Structure formats: C-alpha cells, structure tokens
Amino acid sequence: MEFGPLRPEMNPGARRILSAFLVAVVSLGIFFPSAVAGARDVAAELRRERGRLLEMKEREEKTARELTEALRMEKRSKGRVDQLQERLKRQKSLLSRIDRKVSALNDRLERAEKAVRELEAAHGQARTELRRAEVVAFFGQRAGAGDPWHPSDRERERHFMRVYLAADAEGVARITRAREKKEEELTGLERQVAVTEKKRTREKKVGDTLLSRQEAERTRLAGIEREKKRKEKELKSLRAKIARMESVVSRVERQVKERERRARKAAAGKSAAREPAEAPRRFASLSGGLSAPLAGKVVTRFGHQHDTTFDVTIENRGVEIEAPSGASVKSIGQGEVAFAGAVSGFGNVLIVQHGGGLFSVYGRMESFLVKQGEAVKKGMVVGRLPESPSGKSVLYLELRAGGTAIDPTSVIPLDR
Amino acid sequence: MSERPSLWWIDWRLSPGSLVRETIGRFLLFCLLGFGLLSLLLSGGVSRILADRYAITAVLRAEVPSGEGEGLARKAAALPPVRSATYRDPEAAWKEFLRAYPGLDPLRGTGENPLPGYIEIRIRPDRLTVEDVELVASALGAVSQVEQVLAGEDWLPRLLRAGRLASWACWGIFGAFLAGFFLVGRLQERARAVALAGDFAFLAERGISAGRLAFLRAAGAALAGFLLAAVGTAASGGVLFLSLRKFPFLERVVGSPADLLLPRTIASAVLFSIGVAMLCGAASLLGWSSARSGRK
C-alpha cells in the first residue's frame, strides 16, 4: 500500500515518501500491534528511519517552498521586466512621436522664419515704394498745379494718385498685418517647440529611469535564476536521498507484512491453511454506508488542478472542505483509528482504516476525540477544526482504496 | 430842259482814286471783322476752348467690367448737355496715369494696376454752365457702378467766370474794331468832304441842296459798306471754312465748318453787314456835317 502526496503544493516524491511512511506506521503500529512482538528491532529501526524520513521531508518541503518562492519571485520579476519592457517600448514610441513632432515643428519654424524674413523684405520694399510714390506725387502735383489748360486731366490724375497711394498704403498695411500674424505664429511655434523639447527631456528622463529599473530588475532576475538553479539542484539531491529512503522503508514494510502473514499463519494452528489476503473493497460497499464528515463546501477539488498564479499543475489527492471554525469532524464510516498524530504540512492528521484496504484521512484538525486503535462508527465525532479569526476553517479529506486515492465527492455527498 | 446829273456815287465821279483806296482798305477791314465775327459766333467766345478742356470724370468701381462701363458711357452720352462720353478701361487709365507720373512705373513692384476704369464726359460748349454740369454729375453719381464723380466743383465756377470774361473781352475787341472803323471812316468822310468842298459849292450854286447831297452821299456810303461787309464776311467765311477743313485741330477752338452754313450764322452775318452799312452812312453824314461846320 502506498499513500500519495497529501498536500497540493508538495511534489510527487515527497508525497510518495509520506504515503509510504503512513502505510508503514499503519501496518506496523496499528494493524498488528500484538502480532509483531518479535519484530521490535525492526520497529525501532523503522522509527529511526521514520524520524530521518520526516527530517528529510521537512528539509525537502522547506527547499520546495523556497524553490516555489524563488519561482514566484522569478515570475514576478519576469512580469516586471516584461512590464518595464512594454513601458519602455511605449516610451520609445512616445519619444519617437515627440521627435517627429519636434522635427515637424522645426520645419514649420524654419518656414515661418523664412516667411517673416520675406515679409520684412517686402514690407521694407513696399514702404520705400510708397515713400518714392509720395515724392513723385508731390512733385507731379506741384508741376501740374495751376495748370489751367487741362484742369480736368489734372483733377483725374490727382484722384488716381490718391487711389494709387491708398493702394500702396493698403499694400504696406497688408504686408504689415501678414508679418505681424506670421510673427505671432512664429512666437507660438517657438513656444510649442520649447514645450515639446521640455516634454521630450522629461520623457527621456522617464525612459532612462525605466531603462535603469529594467536593468536592475534584470540583475535581480539573474540573481533569482541563480538562486533557483541552486535550489533545484539542492532539491534534486534531496529527492534522490528520499528515494533511497523510500526504498528502505518499502523494504521494511514488506518485511513487516511478511512477518504479519507468518504470525497469522501460526495463530491459525496446524490447519496450516493459508489465509488468502483480504481483497480490497469499495467504499460504496462499506457496511453502514458513508456520510459527510461535516457540513461545508468543497473549495479545493480532487485531481489535477491548474494554478494560474504560478502557472503550474498540481495533483490533489483529496479535497478541502470549508466549514465554520471549530466545527466537529465525523467519521465517514465505521472503522478503526489507524493513526492520530501530527503530519508536517497537514497539522493533526487522523487516519481511519475501514478494512479491505480502505482508508479515510482527515487533515488540518485542531484536536482528536478518539485515540489510535479505537473503533469508530459512521457519524461519530472524531475531532474538531481549529478556530480562525475569519470564522472559516478547512478540513482536508482523502479517501484511499487499495493504495489509490479516489475522489471523495464521487462516493460521499458533498456540497460543491 | 437841261438834264440833271445823278448825284449817286458823286464821290466816285469827283475823286475816284482816293475812294478806291478807301474801298480796298474797308474791304480788308471788313474781311478781318467778318472773320472775327464768324469765329466768335462759332466758338462762342472761349466756350468751345473751355468745353474742350473741361471734362467730367466718372470713376467706376474696380469690379465694373468693360462692357458695363461702355454701356454706362453710352447712357451718359444720351444726356442733353453731354457732347461725348468715352469709357476708358483700367489698363488705359493706368497707362494714362503713368504718362502723367512716369516715375511710378518702376516702383510698382507687384505689377498690379490699382486704378479703376472711368468715363470721360464732355459738355456741349453752349451748355457749359454750373447747372448743366451739376445735372450731369448728379445723374452719374446716382449710378451704383460709379464710385466718384470728379466735376471740378471747387474750380469750375472760377473757370466759367474766367471764360465769360474772356468772351466779353473778345466781343469787346470786336466792338472796338468797329468803333475804330467808325471813327476812321468819319475822318475819311470829312477829309473827302473838305477836299470836294469846291465841287459841292458849285453844285449848290446850281440849285442842289446840301441836304440832298449829304443824304445821297451817305446812302451811297451805306450801300457800299453793306456790300463790302457782306462780301468781306463771305470771303472770310470761305477762308475760315477752308482753314477748318485743312486744319481740323482748329475745330477744337473755333468749331465745325458746317456751323458756318447755319441760318443763325448767316443771319448774324447779314445783320453785321447791315450794321456796317449803318455805320458807314452815319460816318458819311457826320463827316459831311463836320466839314461844313469847320469842326474837325
């Protein structure tokens, strides 16, 4: 019999080790306490190995947690780097746009300056022409004044001279207005260029800041990656050790089973008929039926679940049921308490064996109301959930049949 | 019964030589006076000159097209006091303006013509009065296409007054010539009466009264004067006619040669001849009278 991992965040190796450990405990310490008297040395060895295994498991869990943390940090850091890159990209695009705008403004500025220069030249020329025309008009009228021979012609010429001078004056005024307007436009453009330049400087500074932040983040990411690699290496080494330990435990378990079988054989007398091994049963055929351990809602489902936070797929061997704090936990069926103790990562764990290779595991409990080896009935209160400030606590429930975890919601009516 | 001699043309019989000279002189003078008279009649003094110099200018708006300007000119020409109305487009106005102010041409850097077109209206010489000018000016000013009417409001009255004075001066000179002729003719008549006093005394002794003699002399002088004046005026009219035909520019000062044949011109010439005849007769009587009395 082998127990799978009990915690969603545990890696498969650790889960296997814990399962083996539980099976060994159940097999050696609970099922046949009296039949293994001759194997006390093996039990002692098992206890030692169990201690070492627990220690290694804790180290592995710690390393795994650190690795998970490193991965989370790496992911967060990568996210930040991506975010910074995106912002940098946007910043570059913005700077590019600003540059284009500055370039266009400079072009317009140049054109406006040229236009102002041309208008100034035209204005000067027009004013000169006007002054000369006034001089010509003065002398022309002086020459024509008092000419009684062509009075009407003189009158018309004087009128046309006034029209001419007015047109010239209007031309000068028009050029003056155009120049003033162009100068205003030029001033506006210069102001706009100054504002845009200032904006470009500001955005460039922001871009530089983002770049330096990105650089720092990359440096940090590199550190995280180095740390991650170190942790992975460490974890790999640890898992190899655990595997070796698991091998040892399995071997011990087989020995226990063999001795148990021999003890049963001896107790059966001389008939020497070999008792066939108890065939695995199904939870559905458990006498007395099954009931829910408590009233609550399933918050973590059985099987492979994808964690979007860390982008990993976790295999859950059981379910988590959310219930009010301090709620009573009842046995799902009749059986016998095979284990009641603390398991790292699961708090207080109670294992009830229902016979035929059927086990129910209750984790994250505050206290037990039964003792190891005590018979329990369906619906009997076996423990309580811890108190929580939020008023909610979670019960871990795992069902195993023939060493395989099955979905509790498939055999017990649970509120999903 | 003895035949009584005719007293008509007695002077011709008694002193033909001096009378031929006088007649030639008078004919030339009458030609001159006839020429002056006809010129004055045709020109109206200086009215024609003034009318030729004076023009009303209707300055059109800049946006008025040429066709519309020409139409307006035709309408203006139909006004009674108007002798002619000519439309000048902006281009013509600009060229005319540049002729008046030649220094402006290179100054116009833009090359645009700022001047509008205009209509030049000339008044008939006989209608060149302030009232008629105002009539035309107000008629033009009421047209929306006309921006301004230049009618010389500030100097036209002075010009017309000067024209009147000039005309009076011309007629005065003409009258002075006539008066001069009268005085000279009287002196000539007196001198001839004195020179022929013996002959006249001889005739008186034969029963011819002095009064009858004086009357017949005066009648002969008047008739001769009339004929001389008529012929002289006709001759000067012919010369004037030929001159005007040959030199058309004189028409702007004097007038059209066709006006010579107008009834009023002919009537004036006839009246002039009659007047001259009367002057001749009067000069003869006065000369006779002064010769008889011994006065000068």
For chain B, the farthest-separated pair of C-alpha atoms sits apart, in whole angstroms, at 107
Let me know whether A244 and A303 are in one domain: no
Please report which confidence band the pLDDT of residue A13 belongs to, taking 50, 70 and 90 as the band edges: low
Tens digits of residue pLDDT in A166-220:
888 888 898 899 989 989 998 998 999 899 899 989 988 988 998 898 899 889 8
Please report which confidence band the pLDDT of residue B269 belongs to, taking 50, 70 and 90 as the band edges: very high
- The reply to whether A60 falls in a domain is yes
Q: Inspect the interface and report whether the beta carbons of B114 and A161 lie closer than 8 Å.
A: no
- The reply to whether B133 falls in a domain is no
Query: How many H-runs (helices) and E-runs (strands) does chain A carry?
Result: 3, 13
| Region A94-98 average pLDDT | 89
Let me know whether B67 and B183 are in one domain: no
Report the SS3 class of residue A394.
Answer: strand
Of A277, A311, A338, the one marking the end of a domain is A277
Closest-CA residue of chain B to A169: B114
Let me know whether B29 and B73 are in one domain: no
Nearest to B54 among A129, A132, A152 (CB): A152
CATH label of the domain that carries residue A352: 2.70.70.10
Q: Is B106 exposed, middle or buried (0-12, 13-18, 19+ CB in 10 A)?
A: exposed
- What does the buried/exposed string (b/e) look like for A279-305 if buried means 16 or more CB atoms within 10 Å of the residue's CB? eebebeebeeebebbbebebeeebeee
Let me know whether A62 and A102 are in one domain: yes
Let me know whether A357 and A266 are in one domain: no
Let me know whether B201 and B60 are in one domain: no
Let me know whether A214 and A311 are in one domain: no
Cβ(A175)–Cβ(A126) below 8 Å: yes
List phi, psi (to 5°) of A326.
Answer: 75, 10
- The reply to whether A259 falls in a domain is yes
Q: How far apart are CA A266 and CA B59, in angstroms?
A: 148
Let me know whether B41 and B170 are in one domain: yes
**Residue from B82, B95, B107, B161 whose CB has the most chain A CBs within 10 Å, to mutate:** B107
Cβ(A408)–Cβ(A397) below 8 Å: yes
pLDDT score of A8: 43
- Structurally, chain A folds into a number of domains equal to 2
pLDDT score of A36: 44
Q: Given CB atoms, is B198 within the 8 Å cutoff of chain A?
A: no
| Region A66-75 average pLDDT | 84
- The reply to whether A264 falls in a domain is yes
- The reply to whether A353 falls in a domain is yes
Of B104, B127, B150, the one marking the end of a domain is B127
Give the ipTM: 0.72
Let me know whether A270 and A285 are in one domain: no
Tens digits of residue pLDDT in B89-137:
999 998 888 888 887 776 666 667 888 999 999 999 888 888 999 999 9
More confident residue, B154 or B34: B34
Let me know whether B172 and B273 are in one domain: yes
- The reply to whether A233 falls in a domain is yes
pLDDT score of A395: 93
Let me know whether B21 and B121 are in one domain: no
Q: Given CB atoms, is A125 within the 8 Å cutoff of chain B?
A: yes
Let me know whether A268 and A392 are in one domain: no
Nearest to A156 among B109, B150, B159 (CB): B150
Let me know whether A106 and A224 are in one domain: yes
pLDDT score of A308: 59
CA angle, corner A59, sides to A67 and A68, nearest 5? 15
Let me know whether B41 and B64 are in one domain: no
Q: Given CB atoms, is A151 within the 8 Å cutoff of chain B?
A: yes
- Structurally, chain B folds into a number of domains equal to 2
Of A277, A298, A313, the one marking the end of a domain is A277
Partnered with residue A329 across adjacent β-strands are A383
Tens digits of residue pLDDT in A290-327:
899 999 999 988 888 765 544 556 667 789 999 999 99
Q: Which of A400, A403, A404 is CA-nearest to residue A332?
A: A400
Let me know whether B94 and B22 are in one domain: no
Of A247, A277, A307, the one marking the end of a domain is A277
- The reply to whether B218 falls in a domain is yes
Let me know whether A251 and A287 are in one domain: no
Q: Residue A344 above 70 pLDDT?
A: no
Closest-CA residue of chain A to B52: A150
pLDDT score of B278: 94
Cβ(A156)–Cβ(A118) below 8 Å: no
| Region B233-258 average pLDDT | 89
pLDDT score of A310: 46
Total CB pairs under 8 A between chain A and B? 70
Distance (Å) from the C-alpha of residue A175 to the closest C-alpha of chain B? 12
Q: How far apart are CA A15 and CA B83, in angstroms?
A: 130
Nearest to B115 among A132, A160, A171 (CB): A160
Q: Look over chain A and give the mean of its residue pLDDT values, rounded to a whole number.
A: 79
Distance (Å) from the C-alpha of residue A189 to the closest C-alpha of chain B? 30
Q: Given CB atoms, is A132 within the 8 Å cutoff of chain B?
A: yes
- The reply to whether A2 falls in a domain is no
> Range of B271's domain?
10-46+159-293
Q: Inspect the interface and report whether the beta carbons of B57 and A140 lie closer than 8 Å.
A: no
Q: How far apart are CA B140 and CA B148, in angstroms?
A: 9
> Range of A369's domain?
280-416
Let me know whether A319 and A173 are in one domain: no
Let me know whether B97 and B76 are in one domain: yes
